[in-house]
Amino acid sequence: MNLAMIRRTAAIGLIAGAALGASPSQPSPEDIFPYLDLFASAVAIIQSDYADEVDPTNLIYGALHGMLRSLDPHSEFMEPQAVDDLKVETEGEFGGLGIEIGVRDDMLTVIAPMEDTPAFKAGLMPNDKIIKIGDENTRGMSVGDAIKRLRGKPGTKVTITIQRTLKDVREVKEHTITRAIIKVNTVRDAQMVDPTNMIGYVRVTNFDKNTGAALRDAIDALVTQGMEALVLDLRNNGGGLLVTSIDVSSLFLRANDVVVSTRGRIPSQNQVYRVPENGTWYAFPMVVLLNGASASASEIVTGALKDHKRAVVLGSKSFGKGSVQTVLPIGANNTALRLTTAKYYTPSGVCIHGTGIYPNIEVPITIDDEISIVEKRALARESTNTMSKAAYERYKQLEQFRDQQLDRAVDLLKGMRFLAGSEYALSFTNRMEAPAGAADEADPAPSDDAGEPADDTTE
């Protein structure tokens, strides 16, 4: 590939892009030509002067990888093998570890492990930093590249090195984990957490295609036990399907209420997603529990319930992961771009990505306490007769441990129920009973066409 050919190919691509309809903010080909000339000159010099012979395909692919990686952790250039792997992921079966990952402080970070998965059983926790996958350092690695390395055939093993900081002490530990088909029960621990005050509790760990129906069934069962108020626990929920976040929100919002919208530079990416007609609607008081490991679809649900004043959000700020990736084929060699094309916005117009959802009532807890909550929950599902000595000792240590955020949520609902019906609660009740579409004035997107839901809110 010579210098003239590189320039000519780039020029043809630019002209074709302009013909397809560039946005007004896009630079003209004349603005980009000098930089393409710079790129072409660099390729030509490398080919002629570098000590070893270089495959021009590797040069171009390497440049494209760097270009996409410079945008954000979720955008990437996909070589032919990566495109083929994507088809397997969407059409076939693959093994994984059961973790949601993202980038925080420029480091590959565990957002949340899914319960009862290999990652959860290995002891991975929210906010763990993945510093190595196998022998490869993850510094600068994109989320897509990391996922590609973590996934594989069920039954095969992958070794990851985790860095965890507790009480200012940095701990580095290596885990060898066996990949498995990830099938999880996403709706858990439905119970009357305070039967005297008729307060129920249910925890949602992820948003898959069955979560909406499973949550509705769990709530119906609690209602038959007399539940009149609910704590919905979305802590450590790393996200999942966009369509499921709409299903879950629809259980608590009225028909046509805005759940979320997307905004991008391309008009087709500007969509508003609303509660459908003829759905199930529960009107009882609610508190949503949130923490720094709540991301993606869980942030969509929380943002909608908060903006419509349908629930009080309690806990700590969420992760802030709300972007839409689109796979765009390019060239004739089965290559593609996985490109961030839009971001998610709450009904009031708050951009979720990079911002997160702030609680109405902040109740911070330490990382040690967060780990204790997960450990106590996991140990409670085991029989004390089959526990190891160390596990039983830990079980006894945690017997008196209290989940401060859950306790505060229950106390808040007790107060709300005590005031219910009084003239002092009237203004609050009026907000809770606002007519459908009350938040529509803040619609941030220009289109009311919901279109086809995106597949998911994760990578």
Active-site amino acid positions:
296, 307, 321
Residues pairing with 315 in the sheet? 290, 362
Q: Name the residue type at position 408.
A: R
Q: Which amino acid is at 43?
A: V
Q: Kindly tell me the burial class for residue 19, based on how many C-beta atoms sit within 10 Å of its own C-beta (0-12, 13-18, 19 or more).
A: exposed
Return d(Cα 205, Cα 113) in angstroms, integer. Answer: 9
51 three-class SS: coil
Q: How is 367-378 classified by DSSP, letter by letter? A: HHHHHHHHHHHH
- 329 to each of 75, 217, 408, how far by Cα in Å? 14, 41, 50
Q: Which residues contact 252 (CB under 8 A, 6 or more apart)?
A: 281, 282, 286, 305, 310, 311
Is residue 112 classed as helix, strand or coil in its secondary structure?
strand
Query: C-alpha 396: how far from its chain's center?
Result: 34
